[in-house]
């Protein structure tokens, strides 16, 4: 019992299931009882009814049997039929049987009474009455029969019959009663079942209520407690179901345990928390410290970052403007300034500005000159100014806005103010700390400016060096001690067909192979380079090589490079000595040729002289030898003279006494002398122009024609015509000298004027000559601004054509330029001879001319005469006004400024002259005709411009 109760106490489920099972069992038992009762009632009712119905049936059988027996008795008695009599006995048996059957059923008094009466009647009826009646009847005593009937027979029958019927109806009544009884009992049963159900429901509800109570209440308490606990109320009542053994109890205990442990933990947590709080406080204070430190650091970092940016900006570039821009921009950032600018003081006031217009900059520069610079120069200290912004600067601000301007001087290493920076900030004033910091920045700026200056200087130097290296003729290469190329100038790079940058830092082998490719004698050059670079022997410092495929000769030499006393490399210089080489070769060839040319006549002279001295010779032979000696000596003399002439002319030492000469008489003279030497040649002069005056040296021109004509004679050994044709060719005078001689092969023509060149031809070889004649002709013609050309056909003859500039001194009046005779020209020239020459020239051209030696006189005359033009020498008499002065004075004078001036000077300063206002500039020596042309050209130009009119002269008068 104890166990069971514990079993249930331990679990609510068990309790619930137990109670519910009990409830179901009770319910089932109740239900079964009711059903069983019901069944029992019905069964009892059925049994009773069956009994009653049985009795009823037996009663009916009795009734029927009696009734039959009555009928039969009556029938028999009436009809006397035997079957009736038999039937009566049958009925009697039936009655007895039925009565036998009824007997066990007779439980009630009534039954038993009926049975007794039935038994009594039966015996009366059958044994008495019927028997008597039958016997009477048979006896025919009908009266007796009737009498017996009347004496009660009939009445007893009737009474019995009535008794039977009463019994029968009592039976029916009993059944009905029984049924009614059943109904009532059933109804009672139903009511009691309903009552039972109701009770069961009540039971169920009480179970439920109890369970709910057992679960709900502690749960509720639990919830409340939990809630309270959750709300951290301290007086929570926990022991609400601790005594219980079921889940709630367990839960409660666990909960309590938990609460206790939570409380405990909480307590410890609280303790910890307190500790933590203390720590936290400590940490917070530390954090605050750290934050402060961090803030400081961040500020520093930001400062540093800006400064770095600033310094990077400074060091990123070496371009001055870029650096200045960077300085201003970055300092503005550092300062948080709205505008700023920097102005350099020591050069062309270079500046950079941020947020300042060009006009603003100019204004600032102006302000600088108005005292700020002096102030800064004196104090060398930054200062800041607060000023209210004018409307123009305020933008959309309506209220007063202030700008804080900070002026920072940038001091050079010598503590000179070299730049001024100014920054404006609208945000707020500059603190002393800030100013101090920015002052430090100016040192950076100063260093940076210094750097730029140095860079610019060194860049200038470098560029200059580079330019020098790249512009000199020589190829230059610098290599280090290992032979690695350090630098190569463009000349050498171009020569090697490489890019300067490509070859930079090329190893020895690389550039060497490039160089060797270009060279004819590569083996020797390679040896030379190896000697210089690898074996470091500088005794063989130079080397000369020929360039492959070109006629170039390059001389290269190496020089060691020292930095201090330490050698760090070698410089190679490649010099193009092609010209020198050629000249050298020519020289040695020339020497060899000269020696040959001189030795030949010398050999003759010596040889024949020796023969004459040592041999007994016949007089004819002596004469022949002497003639030969004489001729050879003459040839030698001519050769030496020609040779000296050529040398003098080529070296430019030949002086020419140039005058205006008519070429015709010169040629005639030469022809006269040549005629003497030949009898087989016919000379002709073909003069096709009257303008035959040239500016030249009479003797030298004569030499030209002598050489040409003597050649013509020499090279037409079979004689023939030698024609000299004089004609105009454009503005030049041309003279042809034509012979009908051997002619010159075409391939020889280009070499014709080369010294000692002689056409290789045995025909010509017999003709003596120095080989210098044409070279001399060429030199002289060249000295006269002339040209010489040759056309020739072998065996037909040659034509040498000389053309010389034609001097415009007209000999034919037909060609005169129309000039107004009244047009006057003033010549300012201190050289009397030149003055008179020019005077003559201009007079010839139709001008009226006056000349003056000095500037002062000339200006007086110019003022008085207002000439059409002035010819002005620059180098006038010493102590006097120079030509420049005259020019300037005239151009300054309104009245004289329009008079055209032609400068005539030996000074090659045409640009200066034209700049000062000269109309033209002639450089002495010039041909006088040039002056006429220039003046006319100028006047014509002026005429076109409508300034003056050149009156037409009546040419017909002449």
Partner 1 sequence: MAKILLAEDEEVLRMLVVDTLEDEGYEIDEACDGQEAIELIKENEYDLILLDYMMPIYTGLEVIQQVRELPEKKHVKIMMLSAKSQQADQQRVLEAGADYFMAKPYSPLELVKRIEEILHGEN
Could you list the residues that contact partner 1 (CB under 8 A)?
Answer: 592, 595-596, 599-604, 606-608, 610-611, 614-615, 621, 628, 631-632, 760-762, 765-766
Q: Between residues 269 and 626, which has the closer beta carbon with respect to partner 1?
A: 626
Q: How far is the CB of 625 from partner 1 (least distance, A)?
A: 8
Instruction: Give the pair of three-digit tokens for residue 835.
Output: 């003055």
Q: Between residues 604 and 845, which has the closer beta carbon with respect to partner 1?
A: 604
Measured CA angle at 654 (ends 692, 703), to 5 deg: 45
Q: Between residues 111 and 632, which has the closer beta carbon with respect to partner 1?
A: 632
Query: Which residues touch 46 (CB under 8 Å, ≥6 apart)?
Result: none
Paired strand residues for 419: 344, 410
Q: How far is the CB of 764 from partner 1 (least distance, A)?
A: 9
Rg, Å, the chain Cα set: 83
**Sign of the CA dihedral running 141, 144, 150, 152:** negative
Q: How many Å apart are CA 574 and CA 491, to the nearest integer?
A: 9
CB 426 within 8 A of CB 338: yes
Q: How far is the CB of 837 from partner 1 (least distance, A)?
A: 50
Burial 717-739 (b: 16+ CB within 10 A, else e): eeebebbbbbbeeeebbbbbbbb
Q: Between residues 615 and 623, which has the closer beta carbon with respect to partner 1?
A: 615
Chain centroid to CA 479: 38
CB 98 within 8 A of CB 65: yes
Nearest partner of 303 among 429, 446, 449, 436, judged by Cα? 436
Q: How far is the CB of 644 from partner 1 (least distance, A)?
A: 20
CB 320 within 8 A of CB 350: yes
Helix (H, G, I), strand (E, B) or coil at 646: helix
Q: How far is the CB of 603 from partner 1 (least distance, A)?
A: 4
Q: Between residues 6 and 765, which has the closer beta carbon with respect to partner 1?
A: 765
819 DSSP assignment: -
Q: How far is the CB of 600 from partner 1 (least distance, A)?
A: 5
Q: How far is the CB of 757 from partner 1 (least distance, A)?
A: 12
Let me know how long the chain is.
958
Q: How far is the CB of 741 from partner 1 (least distance, A)?
A: 18
Q: Between residues 603 and 898, which has the closer beta carbon with respect to partner 1?
A: 603
Q: Between residues 436 and 610, which has the closer beta carbon with respect to partner 1?
A: 610
Q: How far is the CB of 611 from partner 1 (least distance, A)?
A: 6
Instruction: Give the pair of three-digit tokens for residue 307.
Output: 């400064």
What is the DSSP pairing of strand 475-480 with strand 417-425? unpaired
Q: How many Å apart are CA 452 and CA 458, to the nearest integer?
A: 10
Q: How far is the CB of 778 from partner 1 (least distance, A)?
A: 23
Q: Between residues 476 and 748, which has the closer beta carbon with respect to partner 1?
A: 748
Query: Which residues touch 528 (CB under 8 Å, ≥6 apart)?
Result: 540, 543
Q: How far is the CB of 602 from partner 1 (least distance, A)?
A: 5
Q: Between residues 13 and 588, which has the closer beta carbon with respect to partner 1?
A: 588
Q: How far is the CB of 615 from partner 1 (least distance, A)?
A: 7
Q: How many Å apart are CA 439 and CA 715, to the nearest integer?
A: 96
Q: Between residues 535 and 766, which has the closer beta carbon with respect to partner 1?
A: 766
Q: How far is the CB of 772 from partner 1 (least distance, A)?
A: 16
Q: Between residues 604 and 904, which has the closer beta carbon with respect to partner 1?
A: 604
CB 805 within 8 A of CB 830: no
Q: Between residues 399 and 620, which has the closer beta carbon with respect to partner 1?
A: 620
Q: How far is the CB of 607 from partner 1 (least distance, A)?
A: 4
Query: Which residues touch 351 (CB under 8 Å, ≥6 apart)?
Result: 324, 341, 342, 343, 344, 361, 365
Q: Torsion-angle region of residue 546: left (phi > 0), alpha (psi -120 to 50) or beta? A: beta
Q: Between residues 190 and 603, which has the closer beta carbon with respect to partner 1?
A: 603
Q: How far is the CB of 622 from partner 1 (least distance, A)?
A: 12
How many beta carbons lie within 10 A of that of residue 343, not counting itself?
20
Measured CA angle at 936 (ends 934, 942), to 5 deg: 105
Burial 515-540 (b: 16+ CB within 10 A, else e): bbebbeebeebeebbebbbeeeeeee
Q: Between residues 610 and 672, which has the closer beta carbon with respect to partner 1?
A: 610
CB 795 within 8 A of CB 743: yes
End-to-end CA distance of the chain: 183
Q: Between residues 166 and 610, which has the closer beta carbon with respect to partner 1?
A: 610
């Amino acid at each position: 019992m104890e166990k069971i109760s514990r079993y249930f106490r331990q679990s609510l489920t068990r309790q619930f299931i137990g109670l519910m099972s009990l409830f179901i069992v009770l319910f089932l038992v109740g239900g079964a009882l009711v059903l069983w009762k019901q069944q029992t009632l019905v069964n009892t009712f059925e049994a009773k009814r069956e009994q009653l119905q049985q009795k009823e049936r037996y009663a009916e059988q009795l009734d029927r049997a009696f009734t039959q027996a009555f009928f039969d008795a009556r029938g028999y008695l009436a009809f006397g039929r035997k079957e009736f009599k038999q039937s009566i006995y049958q009925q009697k048996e039936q009655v007895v049987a039925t009565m036998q059957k009824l007997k066990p059923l007779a439980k009630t008094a009534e039954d038993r009474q009926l049975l007794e009466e039935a038994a009594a009647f039966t015996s009366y009826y059958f044994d008495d009455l019927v028997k008597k009646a039958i016997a009477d009847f048979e006896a025919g005593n009908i009266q007796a029969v009737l009498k017996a009937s009347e004496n009660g027979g009939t009445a007893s029958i009737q009474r019995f019959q009535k008794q039977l019927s009463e019994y029968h109806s009592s039976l029916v009544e009993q059944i009905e009663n029984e049924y009614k009884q059943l109904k009532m009992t059933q109804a009672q049963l139903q009511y009691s079942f309903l009552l039972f159900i109701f009770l069961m429901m009540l039971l169920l509800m009480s179970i439920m209520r109890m369970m709910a109570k057992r679960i709900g209440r502690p749960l509720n308490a639990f919830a409340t407690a939990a809630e309270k606990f959750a709300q951290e109320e301290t007086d929570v009542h926990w022991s609400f179901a601790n005594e219980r053994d079921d889940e709630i109890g367990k839960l409660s205990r666990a909960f309590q345990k938990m609460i206790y442990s939570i409380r405990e933990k909480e307590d410890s947590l609280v303790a910890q928390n307190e500790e933590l709080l203390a720590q936290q406080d400590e940490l917070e204070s530390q954090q605050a410290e750290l934050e402060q430190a961090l803030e400081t650091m961040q500020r520093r970092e930001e400062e540093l970052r800006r400064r770095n940016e600033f310094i990077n900006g400074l060091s990123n570039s070496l371009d001055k403007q870029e650096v200045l821009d960077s300085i201003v921009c970055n300092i503005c950032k550092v300062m948080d300034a709205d505008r700023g600018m920097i102005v350099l003081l020591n050069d062309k006031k270079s500046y950079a500005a941020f947020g300042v217009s060009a006009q603003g900059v100019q204004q600032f520069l102006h302000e600088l000159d108005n005292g700020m610079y002096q102030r800064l120069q004196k104090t060398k200290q930054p200062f800041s100014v607060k000023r209210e912004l004018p409307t123009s600067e305020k933008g959309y601000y309506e209220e007063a806005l202030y700008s804080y301007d900070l002026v920072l001087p940038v001091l050079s290493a010598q503590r000179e103010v070299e730049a001024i920076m100014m920054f404006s900030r609208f945000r707020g004033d500059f603190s002393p700390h800030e100013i101090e910091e920015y002052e430090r920045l100016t040192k950076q700026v100063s260093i940076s400016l210094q750097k730029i200056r140095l860079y610019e200087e060194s860049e200038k130097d470098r560029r200059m060096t580079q330019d020098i290296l790249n512009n000199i003729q020589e190829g230059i290469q610098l290599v280090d001690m290992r032979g690695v190329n350090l630098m190569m100038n463009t000349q050498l790079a171009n020569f090697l067909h490489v890019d300067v940058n490509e070859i930079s830092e090329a190893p020895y082998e690389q550039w060497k192979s490039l160089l060797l490719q270009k060279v004819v004698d590569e083996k020797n050059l390679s040896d030379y380079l190896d000697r210089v670079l690898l074996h470091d022997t500088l005794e063989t410092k130079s080397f000369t090589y020929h360039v492959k495929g070109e006629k170039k000769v390059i001389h290269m030499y190496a020089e060691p490079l020292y930095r201090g006393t330490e050698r760090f490399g070698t410089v190679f210089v490649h010099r193009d000595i092609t010209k020198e080489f050629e000249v050298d070769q020519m020289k040695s060839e020339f020497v060899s040729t000269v020696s040959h040319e001189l030795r030949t006549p010398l050999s003759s002279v010596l040889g024949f002289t020796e023969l004459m001295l040592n041999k007994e010779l016949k007089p004819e032979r002596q004469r022949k030898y002497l003639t030969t000696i004489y001729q050879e000596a003459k040839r030698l003399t001519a050769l030496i003279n020609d040779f000296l002439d050529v040398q003098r002319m080529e070296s430019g030492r030949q002086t020419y006494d140039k005058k205006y000469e008519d070429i015709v008489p010169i040629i005639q003279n030469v022809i006269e002398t040549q005629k003497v030497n030949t009898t087989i040649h016919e000379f002709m002069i073909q003069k096709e122009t009257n303008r035959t005056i040239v500016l030249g040296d009479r003797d030298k021109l004569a030499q030209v024609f002598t050489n040409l004509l003597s050649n013509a004679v020499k090279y037409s050994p079979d004689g023939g015509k030698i024609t000299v044709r004089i004609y105009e060719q454009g503005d030049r005078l041309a003279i042809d000298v034509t012979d009908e001689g051997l002619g010159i092969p075409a391939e020889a023509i280009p070499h014709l004027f080369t010294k000692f060149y002689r056409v290789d031809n045995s025909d010509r070889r017999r003709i003596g000559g120095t080989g210098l004649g044409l070279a001399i002709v060429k030199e002289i013609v060249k000295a006269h601004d002339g040209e010489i050309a040759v056309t020739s056909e072998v065996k037909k003859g040659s034509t040498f054509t000389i053309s010389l500039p034609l001097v415009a001194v007209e000999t034919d009046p037909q060609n005169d330029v129309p000039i107004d005779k009244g047009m006057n020209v003033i010549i300012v020239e201190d050289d009397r001879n030149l003055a008179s020459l020019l005077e003559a020239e201009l007079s010839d051209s139709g001008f009226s001319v006056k000349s003056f030696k000095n500037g002062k006189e000339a200006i007086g005359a110019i003022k008085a005469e207002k000439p059409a033009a002035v010819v002005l020498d620059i180098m006038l008499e010493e102590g006097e006004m120079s030509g420049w002065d005259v020019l300037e004075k005239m151009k300054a004078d309104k009245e004289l400024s329009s008079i055209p001036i032609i400068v005539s000077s030996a000074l090659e300063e045409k640009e200066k002259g034209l700049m000062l206002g000269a109309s033209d500039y002639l450089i002495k020596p010039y041909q006088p005709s040039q002056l006429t042309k220039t003046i006319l050209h100028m006047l014509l130009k002026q005429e076109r411009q409508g300034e003056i009119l050149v009156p037409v002269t009546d040419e017909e008068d002449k």
